[in-house]
Amino acid sequence: MPVDDRVRACIERIGDLVVRSAPLGTRTTYRVGGPAALLAEVVDEQSLERVASAVHDSGIEVLMLGNGSNLLVADRGFSGLAIHLGGTFGDLVIDDESGAITAGAAVACPVLARRSVAGGVGGLEWAVGIPGTVGGAVTMNAGGHGAEMEANLVSARVVDLARATDAWRARRDLDCSYRHTNVHSGEIVVEARLQGLPGANSTESTEMLEEIVSWRRTHQPGGRNCGSVFTNPAGDSAGRIIDAAGLKGLRYASAVVSTKHANFIQVDSGGNAGDVRALIEIVRATVARSFGIELVTELRMVGFDR
């Protein structure tokens, strides 16, 4: 079915749940990029079921949107349906006795970290520095400060839109590795069961939260960016390599390689996604030419031709 027909078929089914030509790029931390043809705000199980069935029947392409902290949306936008979770998917239940946590996919990672500590559960302090959602962090196997989501993850509830299935997938079946799981673009992580450490020392955990926040302020740039653009090659750091290639501060129109951390690319206010994309390719090509290293993007690009 042509793209426009899929969009129309979707509107016929869930017109009351979608916004047409909805700003998408502005919902990312880059704050550049165009609209989504359709955007659905999914706030409860009933609307999730309706959206899943409309996607299944129309075959429309889907983009799961968390906090947009790892997304670069093309200036022309995305021609499918963006799905954003909220409402009951923001529920967070922490059992201070066992350290078991059930977190909806819409829970913000810093909230997960701080609420766990406040509830006497440790082990998730690392998440305070991740400006994404639990859904995004599970999908990306996000991590930092020596920890990764994988270490806390027990299982994730995954809705597969093409197969119309809804099942809990255990950690061992998620194929977790560095910034990778097998959750693919036609699947939705709806909630996650996590394991923290009960009886954590509240003073130590609180200090750890503040140390992480302060470390990030010192070592990472603010402004419009998506964190690390490239994954670290085994045993090395993408930031070190880009710096060694002399690319810190390199500018392409509205995009610039951060002078504070070379694996961050920032974009000016009023800039555009095309400039960020072009600079990513310049960095990639220069590093390949200089050191023979093929950098792999960590950020996800949406709506570009390739």
Ligand X SMILES: Cc1cc2nc3c(=O)[nH]c(=O)nc-3n(C[C@H](O)[C@H](O)[C@H](O)COP(=O)(O)OP(=O)(O)OC[C@H]3O[C@@H](n4cnc5c(N)ncnc54)[C@H](O)[C@@H]3O)c2cc1C
Q: Is 290 a catalytic residue?
A: no
- 140 is a contact residue toward ligand X (CB under 6 A): yes
- 122 is a contact residue toward ligand X (CB under 6 A): no
The SS3 call for residue 289 is helix
The size of the interface with ligand X (CB under 6 A), counted in residues, is 34
Q: Is 202 a catalytic residue?
A: no
How many secondary structure helices (H) and strands (E) does the chain include? 8, 18
Which entry of 58, 79, 116, 228 is annotated as an active-site residue?
A: 228
- 255 is a contact residue toward ligand X (CB under 6 A): no
Residues 51-70 that bind ligand X (CB under 6 A): 63-70
Q: Where are the beta strands (DSSP E) in 66-186?
A: 71-73, 78-85, 92-94, 100-104, 121-122, 143-144, 147-148, 153-160, 165-170
Which entry of 157, 171, 179, 224 is annotated as an active-site residue?
A: 179
User: How distant is the alpha carbon of residue 76 from its chain centre?
Assistant: 21
Segment contacting ligand X (CB under 6 A): 7-15, 131-139, 206-214, 250-258? 131-139
Q: Is 179 a catalytic residue?
A: yes
Can you tell me which residue has the tokens 């766990």?
116
Structure-block tokens of residue 34: 């165009």
Shortest Å distance, C-beta 67 to ligand X = 3
Nearest to 169 by CA among 186, 151, 183, 149: 183
Question: What span, in angstroms and rounded, lies between the C-alpha atoms of 105 and 85?
Answer: 7
Active site (catalytic) residues: 179, 228, 298
Residues of the shown chain interacting with ligand X in the complex, contacts defined by CB under 6 A: 29, 63-71, 85, 105, 129-133, 135-137, 139-140, 142-144, 183, 187-189, 220, 225-227, 300
